[in-house]
Structure 1
């Protein structure tokens, strides 16, 4: 019987790219969305839709206890369409809430359901300024001024919830700035760019191969080093959906 995965954020840019990879790898995928009108979109993609809000802890826990997924993947974000600059200030606040409160609820639900693995999306641009490239042991910029501090503290909370969850193998993927289809950015951008398909490939490999911990996930010559992910997960920034399907 195929392992079951609960994919939180299944309609997002990374989630919608990752779902077909999971299905091709033999997983049964349950995907969450807050909006009932998106359930059909998930069904068409071969995903079992779960309409639930991550901020509704009781409903989320009830859903996972019914599904009993062996693994949970956290790809939740709250970003405006096209990364509209006029809405990004509020998006920073919304994302910090998802990373803290949303992750807490998701971890609690996963533990209640007996899930054994949890893979979560974090970010690779929360490091304190210092010698580059930053690796996973480099300190985060916890003393940053506002508004950067909002994002950094959200990252700190997310990673703490995931890595300290009792009985769960928790893996954090610190993604670089994602570009590609559905992301609002067509070309590489930022100091640590990352194609959305390579981001999805990293999540699949983490699910299959990680023993827990933190991994930077970004292209070569970035501000961060992804050597650990290459060494331990077999991840490469050149991975795309077609190449992953052949591995």
Structure 2
């Protein structure tokens, strides 16, 4: 199968390209810069040079690639996110999820690609209950204003993917090499410095996804007829008050402090507080069943230990 990957040098793309090549696929990776092109070549894929926001250039390179499948992993997320400025920090990613998705899926249609897979997020569900959300659960109706543009862009991405008869993989909080939860990531550094507290009761429920598990789910989905949306997360959604102290312990960091919601809102804003106190976890039962996929790291407990145990002793 010829697979065109947009976002080939992102944290998932770096795992996905070698995996697909090892499985015998012909892989074409989109690169916007010379440095990205070099990286795509080093990963073993063919380079397609274009900016995803340039519709004409993107259409030309996708047509030349003549792919059977197109995978959309385009983001531009900064290494460290300020929750009070999330709409600013995600502005380019929001464009890639709206304009970039429109351009890429139009190019895929014109090139005759039969399989479309896009990257969504699993942290989008209405936090009305603590029961992990299945794919049919309602999305967040009135999110904090800093998250509203992000959610709007994700809704647009999902709508266009459905119109293209594609599949959205709703990923959890990504961890592993190159992420903020990676050994040198910004979140890990804050935990090591004792600067990541438990806010309020710490009821925010996180579903985690290791980057390798995200890549393996995409590889499996290429051979599936499943369409719509699937939660690609591990088996153990966990509240902040549970996983954050364990992460600190793995890192040999100070135990997280407890901060009242009112005080946290001054520094983290409404979105930062909602993330740590209201977020709803996701259920992966459907992805396991219809894709015949299972995460290598069934729990963040295993994944954190495997990724970070040496980060405590650099």
> Which runs of 5 or more residues in structure 2 are unaligned?
189-204, 238-280, 299-314
Could you tell me how far 1:209 is from its partner in structure 2? Answer: 1.9
2:223 paired residue number: 208
2:212 paired residue number: 197
Q: How many corresponding residue pairs?
A: 234
Out of 166, 172, 176, which is 2:172 matched to? Answer: 176
Could you tell me how far 1:89 is from its partner in structure 2? Answer: 4.4
Call closer, same or farther: CA 1:148–1:89 in 2, change over 3 Å.
Answer: closer
Task: Assess if the C-alpha contact under 8 Å between 2:86 and 2:146 holds in 1.
Answer: no
Task: Assess if the C-alpha contact under 8 Å between 2:166 and 2:227 holds in 1.
Answer: yes
Once residues 225 and 213 of structure 2 are traced to their aligned partners in structure 1, the CA distance between those partners, rounded to angstroms, is 16
Task: Assess if the C-alpha contact under 8 Å between 1:122 and 1:155 holds in 2.
Answer: yes
Once residues 77 and 104 of structure 1 are traced to their aligned partners in structure 2, the CA distance between those partners, rounded to angstroms, is 14
Could you tell me how far 1:193 is from its partner in structure 2? Answer: 1.0
Once residues 230 and 4 of structure 1 are traced to their aligned partners in structure 2, the CA distance between those partners, rounded to angstroms, is 25
1:59 paired residue number: 57
1:231 paired residue number: 289
> CA offsets per residue over residues 34-92 of structure 1, 9 Å max, x none?
112221221122111112111000100111111110100001111113x3548754232
2:46 paired residue number: 48
Once residues 90 and 217 of structure 1 are traced to their aligned partners in structure 2, the CA distance between those partners, rounded to angstroms, is 27
Moved over 6 A (4+): 187-190
Task: Assess if the C-alpha contact under 8 Å between 2:68 and 2:115 holds in 1.
Answer: yes
Task: Assess if the C-alpha contact under 8 Å between 1:142 and 1:152 holds in 2.
Answer: no
Out of 6, 9, 12, which is 1:8 matched to? Answer: 6
Rg larger for = 2
TM-score by length of 1: 0.89
RMSD of aligned Cα (Å):
2.0
Task: Assess if the C-alpha contact under 8 Å between 1:80 and 1:88 holds in 2.
Answer: no
Once residues 46 and 86 of structure 2 are traced to their aligned partners in structure 1, the CA distance between those partners, rounded to angstroms, is 31
TM-score by length of 2: 0.71
> Which runs of 5 or more residues in structure 1 are unaligned?
241-247
Task: Assess if the C-alpha contact under 8 Å between 1:7 and 1:32 holds in 2.
Answer: yes
Once residues 105 and 115 of structure 1 are traced to their aligned partners in structure 2, the CA distance between those partners, rounded to angstroms, is 14
Indicate the SS of the match to 1:110.
Answer: helix
